Chain A
Amino acid sequence: MLFVIYVVVTFTFFLIRLMPSNPVEVYIEDLMTNYAMSYDQAKNLAASLFSYDIDRPLWLQYLDYMKNLLHGDLGKSIVSSNMSVSKMMATFIPWTIFSVGSALLISFFLGVILGRIMAYKRGSVLDHTLTTLASIVTAIPSYLIALILLVFIGIHLKIIPLKYLRGAYSPGIKPGFNLKFILDAIAHAVMPVTTYVISTVGSWMLSMKSNTLNVLGEDYILAAKARGLREGTITRKYVGKNAMLPLVTSLAISMGFVFGGSVIIENIFSYRGMGWLLSSSISTRDYTVMQGVFLVITISVVLANFIAELLYAKLDPRIRR
């Protein structure tokens, strides 16, 4: 896992320094032509923003970059000058954790419940309808679901006032621990969360259904029935637990997927989280911010995968050695 993080970090370093249109050089040129700075002035400013010295050999720059990274120093934003990237991200991260986190949980449990119902009522009209729905929603890209929701619920049917569909909270309200702010933040999160839930719940439903069907055919279920255990106990403790287990590892994969989708979805709802920050830093060519956000997103997905593996080993005694 540490190796993967190391590869990503190194890759990002070389991506920014060695690309044909090296952003540092471009930035220095830009300062020289547009702000009439001398080369030295421009170079010093660039060096302070990217927090490394350009004149030093590449491998020393690389060591500096790694050292700064370990201290949480990601340089300063190019566009909003003097704003440190880590401070900037600190204001955006909570929104993504809040919306993506709650969406993943809602979607997971909704999918597990619906999938179990589908498995128990297999062959019924309900099962067919839900299976068809689930396979349709999984096929549609999440950002298209976001656009459809925005257009119908927000603009044309006006179910949710449009002002709740832009931003993470209303402009007038100060973030703080009070009811007004919390309600406002929830109202703004409804649409992005609904989008994430719709786009991921289908695959949970389908895999929960097939897992449950597999478990129902196992011998230990028959044995449990023969022992005269109550139906409820069997459903919860025997079928439910065993069918849910394989889904735990998928949770990390799903998280990576939702993070990826959030780049577009947060943009559609102007929801100011990490996805929004990534796409806006790419459009404004704010390379230091872009590098920081990309590293944070990637490292958290890698960590999530690692945790999921540990968790799986903990939950399933059969693969413990």
Chain B
Amino acid sequence: MKSGIKLFFYHLRKNKVGFAGFIVLLALIFMSYILPYFVPLDMETRVNEIFKPPSWKHPLGTDFQGRDILNQIIHGGKDVMNVAFMAGLISTAIAVSLGAVSGFVGGKVDMVLTSIADIILTIPHFPLLAVLAAFIDFKSSVGLATLLGLLSWPGAMRSIRAQVLSLKERDFVEAARVLDLGTGHIVFKEIIPNMMNYIVMNMIFSMRSAVYSQVGLIILGFVPFTSTNWGVMIHYAWSRGAIFFKGSLMYLLAPIAMIALFQWSLVSFARALEGVFNPRLRGE
């Protein structure tokens, strides 16, 4: 018998793309959360080193204030990932609780909750976020993450509701009900563990959409972020003319590559997880 973790890696490795995504995701997390402890942030302006092409001293060149780009790439991921993770967590928490209630209780409650979800689902999110950004001052990333989470739960909520509806009729839930184990026990001990795969995947997908909206808002300059951040780097590369010089292209391309890699690794990891959780998709 193989242990759980070993089994997890065994099935993960079967999906080559998914495994690659998993490795890239780990590498990005390592770079953004561990490396900054060893490489100090250097934000000193050096007037004589503005927009320098890549060299031994600056492997990715320098930005419009003569600061090292690689240094900023290393320090710029944490913010993006933090917001994505928090937004994903909030959105998933709402989706799971409302989805479970909606599916389990049914009736009027179900109708009200699903119509709220439908309304939020049809409103285009990015214009809404942009408009809200004009009124709300996002001083911290927590505020932004909360708003992103509050907007992105409906899709996940609907698929969790559908899951609950189908699980509710299964024998083991029926058995629990006959044993009079209580709604709380049935929901948290019987139903939710059985749809962990849906929950994890929905969380990853809402993280992905959180990255999209967050970086988009930063590029347009609607969210005042002062710290180093991949999105802020793109914003400056775009607004300070780095795109017009061959030597400074890395200032734009490096953060773009990082965000694209992060998004891609999230999606492929989620697809691979589907295979790990769902034995029917594993093939031989």
**CB pair B219 A264 closer than 8 Å:** yes
**CB pair B131 A135 closer than 8 Å:** no
Q: Which A249-292 residues have a C-beta within 8 angstroms of B?
A: 256-257, 259-261, 263-264, 267-268, 278-279, 282-283, 285, 287, 290
Tell me whether B5 is interfacial, beta carbon within 8 Å: no
| A residues less than 8 Å from B122 (CB atoms) | 4, 256, 301-302, 305
The residue from B131, B215, B244 contacting A155, defined by CB atoms under 8 A apart? B244
User: Residue on A with the closest CB to B255?
Assistant: A144
User: Residue on B with the closest CB to A274?
Assistant: B127
Tell me whether B268 is interfacial, beta carbon within 8 Å: yes
| A residues less than 8 Å from B220 (CB atoms) | 263-264, 267, 279, 282-283
| A residues less than 8 Å from B252 (CB atoms) | 147, 151
CB distance from B35 to the nearest CB of A (A): 23
CB distance from A4 to the nearest CB of B (A): 5
| B residues less than 8 Å from A21 (CB atoms) | 135
| B residues less than 8 Å from A279 (CB atoms) | 130, 220, 222
Tell me whether B126 is interfacial, beta carbon within 8 Å: yes
Cα A19 to Cα B132 with chains together (Å): 10
**CB pair B267 A135 closer than 8 Å:** yes
**CB pair B134 A282 closer than 8 Å:** yes
The residue from B124, B243, B260, B267 contacting A256, defined by CB atoms under 8 A apart? B124
| A residues less than 8 Å from B39 (CB atoms) | none
Tell me whether A297 is interfacial, beta carbon within 8 Å: yes
User: Residue on A with the closest CB to B115?
Assistant: A3
The residue from B119, B211, B216, B246 contacting A7, defined by CB atoms under 8 A apart? B119
Once A139-B263, A151-B252, A155-B243 are accepted as A-B contacts, the answer to whether A263 and B130 lie under 8 Å apart by CB is: yes
CB distance from A200 to the nearest CB of B (A): 14
Tell me whether B234 is interfacial, beta carbon within 8 Å: yes
**CB pair B260 A144 closer than 8 Å:** yes
Cα A264 to Cα B212 with chains together (Å): 11
Tell me whether A63 is interfacial, beta carbon within 8 Å: no
User: Residue on A with the closest CB to B267?
Assistant: A139
| A residues less than 8 Å from B13 (CB atoms) | none
Tell me whether B256 is interfacial, beta carbon within 8 Å: yes
User: Residue on B with the closest CB to A294?
Assistant: B131
Tell me whether B133 is interfacial, beta carbon within 8 Å: yes
Cα A20 to Cα B131 with chains together (Å): 15
Cα A69 to Cα B222 with chains together (Å): 28
**CB pair B119 A282 closer than 8 Å:** no
Cα A264 to Cα B238 with chains together (Å): 12
**CB pair B259 A19 closer than 8 Å:** no
Tell me whether A233 is interfacial, beta carbon within 8 Å: no
Q: Which A137-167 residues have a C-beta within 8 angstroms of B?
A: 138-141, 143-144, 147-148, 150-151, 155-156
Closest 3 CB pairs of A and B: A260-B126, A139-B264, A256-B124
Residues of A within 8 A of B (CB): 3-4, 7-8, 15, 19-21, 132, 135-136, 138-141, 143-144, 147-148, 150-151, 155-156, 256-257, 259-261, 263-264, 267-268, 278-279, 282-283, 285, 287, 290, 293-294, 297-298, 301-302, 305
Residues of B within 8 A of A (CB): 17, 118-119, 122-128, 130-135, 208, 211-212, 215-216, 219-222, 234, 238, 243-244, 246, 249, 252-253, 256, 259-260, 263-264, 266-268
Taking A141-B260, A282-B222 as given, write out 9 further A-B residue pairs in contact, using a Cβ cutoff of 8 Å, ordered by the A residue number. A3-B119, A15-B131, A147-B238, A151-B253, A278-B130, A278-B131, A287-B134, A290-B131, A298-B127
